[in-house]
Chain A
Amino acid sequence: MFEALADAAAFGLLGLDPSTPAGAAVQFFVMDVAKIFVLLFVVIYVMGLLRAVVAPERVRAFVRGRPDWQARGLAVSLGAITPFCSCSSVPLFIGFVEAGIPLGVTFSFLIASPMINEVAAIVLVGILGWKLAALYVLAGLFVAWTGGVIMKRLRPERWVEDYVWKIRMGDAELPAPDTSFAGRHRYAMGEVREIVGRIWKWVLIGIGVGALFHGFVPAAWVSEYLGGDNWYTVPAAVVLGIPLYSNATGVIPVAEAMLGKGVAVGTTLALMMSVAALSLPEMLILRKVIRWPALALFASVLAIAFTLVGWGFNAIA
């Protein structure tokens, strides 16, 4: 259905030739815009209806006071279903510290939350199939778990700003949510408006980049330089992804175009994770609570983890 629509728009309406780069790029763009936005609306609405999101305040209450491995398991899995915008990282970090949750567990949560979310996971299934979606989610959970364990070893407490330890947090008594159907519907519509309003730019940019890659980058060039044989393509993808930021959903069409041209799976996953989880704006925000050495270590640990994951998948692919 989406393909027919895209064919009609690119080749019928605009009269482009499917064999030209512009024709292929426009067809890709129209198809992905239609497909991804329909998926986004449906998935976010259904999630909202089920109230399948967990507020960070509840994560904090669940995780506090548990032994390390349990706390980490909860932080990683709840991180995957807890949406939070990066402007909330600071209160989130402080709230976890104040609850006595170990910093290593907090880092696990900070890695998992932007990288994996249920909306991106379902869009990933729709665009790239469940196998790749499962690979991405498993790799993300693994990196979040081990990244937090390694951060703990590096004793990041040394670099936490002093004022953070002194903050005392009140108890939030949030009003109970309205669970009637009308209330759920209203909440779900609000979620759609809020989330789509926040991420549509990233998604459009991602589709644009994917479309250009799909139309204009020759497959022969890709297999020569970006196939699985060159060891340096994975670290290069990770380094390229660090300054770039996009929402986890926005990076999916880029991955789609890359895989379609024959870029190795591990290289593609490494870029996806690096773009979604590591970003300069996020680092600048976290700088308010923790000093540069810890942030540099955090970025390095993640970059190394993404590289190893990428190499691993390229080796078994």
Chain B
Amino acid sequence: MKQIKVLGSGCRNCEITANVIAQAAREAGTEVVIEKVTDIVEIMSYGVMSTPGVVVDGRLVHAGGIPAPELVRTWVRESVSE
């Protein structure tokens, strides 16, 4: 199961990002756990300054703005870990 974290202080774009990922996962039939990280200390620990950021299985894959749908689909595909 994939662990996806959406880093952001709770702004609208972070909500949208989380929703986009949830929907892409449903369409791909992948089971994911989406966690919204609003704690600034944890957000900064990933080196992200421009939110929203996205972390898939512990690896930062995106920062700054709502990610493109094509990009999101690659995250929820089962074999993407590498």
Contact surface of A with B, Cβ cutoff 8 Å: 55-57, 60, 84-85, 87-88, 90-92, 94-95, 98, 163, 167-175, 186-187, 190, 194, 288
Q: Complex: how many Å from CA A267 to CA B8?
A: 38
- Within the complex, what minimum Cβ distance (angstroms) separates B72 from chain A? 12
Q: Are A172 and B48 in contact (CB under 8 A)?
A: yes
Q: A172's contact among B11, B51, B60, B70, by CB below 8 Å, is which?
A: B60
Q: Determine the chain B residues whose CB is within 8 A of the CB of A175 once the complex forms.
A: 61-62
Q: A55-B49, A172-B60 are in contact. List 19 more A-B contacts (CB 8 A).
A: A55-B50, A56-B49, A57-B49, A60-B49, A85-B13, A87-B9, A87-B51, A91-B43, A91-B44, A91-B51, A92-B50, A94-B40, A95-B44, A98-B44, A170-B44, A170-B45, A172-B46, A172-B63, A187-B68
6 closest residue pairs by CB, A with B: A172-B47, A87-B11, A95-B49, A170-B47, A56-B49, A91-B49
Contact surface of B with A, Cβ cutoff 8 Å: 8-9, 11, 13, 40-41, 43-51, 60-66, 68, 70
Q: Are A167 and B60 in contact (CB under 8 A)?
A: no
Q: Determine the chain A residues whose CB is within 8 A of the CB of B70 once the complex forms.
A: 186
Q: Complex: how many Å from CA A171 to CA B80?
A: 22
Take A87-B9, A95-B44, A167-B44 as given contacts and tell me if A194 and B65 are in contact as well, using a CB distance cutoff of 8 Å: yes
Q: Determine the chain A residues whose CB is within 8 A of the CB of B48 once the complex forms.
A: 57, 91, 172
Q: Complex: how many Å from CA A172 to CA B70?
A: 22
Specify the chain B residue showing the minimal Cβ separation from A194.
B65
Take A91-B51, A94-B40, A173-B60 as given contacts and tell me if A186 and B68 are in contact as well, using a CB distance cutoff of 8 Å: yes
Q: Determine the chain B residues whose CB is within 8 A of the CB of A163 once the complex forms.
A: 41
Q: Determine the chain B residues whose CB is within 8 A of the CB of A174 once the complex forms.
A: 60, 62-63
Q: Determine the chain A residues whose CB is within 8 A of the CB of B65 once the complex forms.
A: 190, 194
Q: Complex: how many Å from CA A269 to CA B28?
A: 52
Specify the chain B residue showing the minimal Cβ separation from A289.
B40
- Within the complex, what minimum Cβ distance (angstroms) separates B21 from chain A? 16
Take A170-B44, A172-B46 as given contacts and tell me if A88 and B60 are in contact as well, using a CB distance cutoff of 8 Å: no
Q: Are A55 and B60 in contact (CB under 8 A)?
A: no
Q: Determine the chain A residues whose CB is within 8 A of the CB of B45 once the complex forms.
A: 168-170
Specify the chain B residue showing the minimal Cβ separation from A82.
B50
Q: Determine the chain A residues whose CB is within 8 A of the CB of B9 once the complex forms.
A: 87, 90-91
Q: Complex: how many Å from CA A95 to CA B11?
A: 18
Q: Complex: how many Å from CA A95 to CA B66?
A: 21
Q: Determine the chain A residues whose CB is within 8 A of the CB of B47 once the complex forms.
A: 57, 169-173
- Within the complex, what minimum Cβ distance (angstroms) separates B38 from chain A? 11
Q: Complex: how many Å from CA A175 to CA B41?
A: 22
- Within the complex, what minimum Cβ distance (angstroms) separates A187 from chain B? 8
Q: Complex: how many Å from CA A94 to CA B41?
A: 9
Q: Are A167 and B50 in contact (CB under 8 A)?
A: no
- Within the complex, what minimum Cβ distance (angstroms) separates B3 from chain A? 17
Q: Determine the chain A residues whose CB is within 8 A of the CB of B51 once the complex forms.
A: 87-88, 91
- Within the complex, what minimum Cβ distance (angstroms) separates A201 from chain B? 12
- Within the complex, what minimum Cβ distance (angstroms) separates A120 from chain B? 18
